[in-house]
Chains A and B, each alone.
Chain A
């Protein structure tokens, strides 16, 4: 009893540290410390668990920890900041598969009651979906597989049948006895992996922030279910905290796109746009050279920069910062406006700009920037498209109508850096490009910015 009590009290301490850690993540000034506190909580929980009396043999534990620790440390050190979304997806997947195995392994060692079996099958299910879903997300984000939404006829019916099959197999698993149990178990595992794949393939690139948040939530819920299965309180608490955080991020992302979660998950943008696009966009996009851009910027007193996924692709964050410094030296005020779904994961742009040493108090959220947009001399859009599309405000019938966007078109001049006139992920035209005050800078964002910077010096 003594050791068990000690273990459980330490779990309470670990939970307190997790909670404080998350709380301190609420401000950039304390966030780093918060992360360390949370890591300390994890350390305590792991070390104290090793005292558990049911652990007889340590050699496999050591092997697992050494291998996992080395891989984790290596990946964490080497990953590029632009590669952050796929790394988070990958780690989510590992967490999911670990929970799957913990649930599975819980079948051995003691006679499980029906309730425990239900929980075990649940943790296997969530773990499996998290794993395969995350792997597909990872493949899409790292462009190992096509980032486009993959939709086929009868997809919805197939998914419904799949879910029914999973429920049936799970029920059979909990009520069957003898060797049949393991067959049903394998069926559940296989089907849950398939479900994970099916859930993520119809989701296209720009909806990735939602998926990645959701998978994050699943990985927490999987840990949570595994915790109930093995009766471990810290797993439940920590898993639930993560689950809740993922759900909140998912909600924020959905709100920022003015779409419901089910709309993101079950219908690609193509399905939505079928009805709309009634209004025609008229006019001509006006291109400009880097030199002309320089003359305008040179005279500008205030500039707002709106980055999007294109900045990440072009790895342009450092040149952006260079331009910011030049403009500031020239006496202009420079701020950044960041849309919640810009990039491929929540906060993607902020991390990239932080990497380039941009002070975080210059990174403004959409709601902070829009009311004063008309006071800016120049708005520079770098590799963003849908998040600055005025059609969301003006064109009823446009598929993105109603989505909150950064109103760059209200600024006195708008520069759009873009590779070509191709439409964004949503596949809809952007009337911004044809506005009176918009000029297009075609080409690679990094090169274009480099040319403007050259003109300054």
Chain B
């Protein structure tokens, strides 16, 4: 049953993703990409449990590397997106 439940979530999220992204204008495609890239760093959440659970030495090592890599992705992704978006300005009405 759980698998059906997860599959449902997966399917709905994909459709939702399509709907959301389709409305993003071409001007914002690069920030969209780096921003969604930051979201894909969500794998950090999974890495945290692997790094801290002390199941086995190997899983702790793997988890720690994963935490570091995913954090680069998250912090770097959000910061650079913010930097980019700060540059998108609209001048007052056209001259």
A223 within 8 A of B: yes
Cβ-defined partner of B62 (8 Å) among A27, A54, A104: A104
List the one stretch of A65-73, A161-169, A435-443 in contact with chain B.
A65-73
Which residues of A have CB within 8 Å of B76?
Answer: 71-73, 75-76, 87, 91
Q: Give the size of the chain B interface in residues (CB under 8 angstroms).
A: 83
Cβ-defined partner of B89 (8 Å) among A94, A328, A357: A357
Which residues of B have CB within 8 Å of A2?
Answer: none
Proximity bits, A313-330, B CB within 8 Å = 1, else 0: 000000000000000100
Proximity bits, B66-77, A CB within 8 Å = 1, else 0: 111111111111
Q: Which residue of B lies closest to A223 (CB)?
A: B43
Are A64 and B64 interface neighbours, CB within 8 A? yes
Which residues of A have CB within 8 Å of B90?
Answer: 28-29, 359-361
Which residues of B have CB within 8 Å of A243?
Answer: 14, 17
Are B73 and A105 interface neighbours, CB within 8 A? no
Are A95 and B68 interface neighbours, CB within 8 A? no
Cβ-defined partner of B29 (8 Å) among A87, A350, A355: A350
**Chain A proximity of B63: nearest CB distance (Å):** 5
The B-contacting residues of A in range 82-119, CB under 8 angstroms, are 84, 87-88, 91-92, 94-95, 97-99, 101-102, 104-109, 115
**Chain A proximity of B8: nearest CB distance (Å):** 10
The A-contacting residues of B in range 39-95, CB under 8 angstroms, are 39-56, 58-60, 62-91, 94-95
The 10 A-B residue pairs with the shortest CB-CB distance in the complex, in nearest-first order = A244-B17, A68-B71, A64-B67, A347-B29, A72-B76, A109-B55, A55-B52, A72-B75, A240-B13, A346-B29
Q: Known A-B contacts: A109-B55, A216-B40, A237-B9. Give 13 more (CB < 8 A).
A: A19-B16, A55-B52, A61-B51, A63-B68, A64-B64, A71-B72, A84-B30, A84-B34, A98-B41, A102-B43, A234-B45, A338-B27, A347-B29
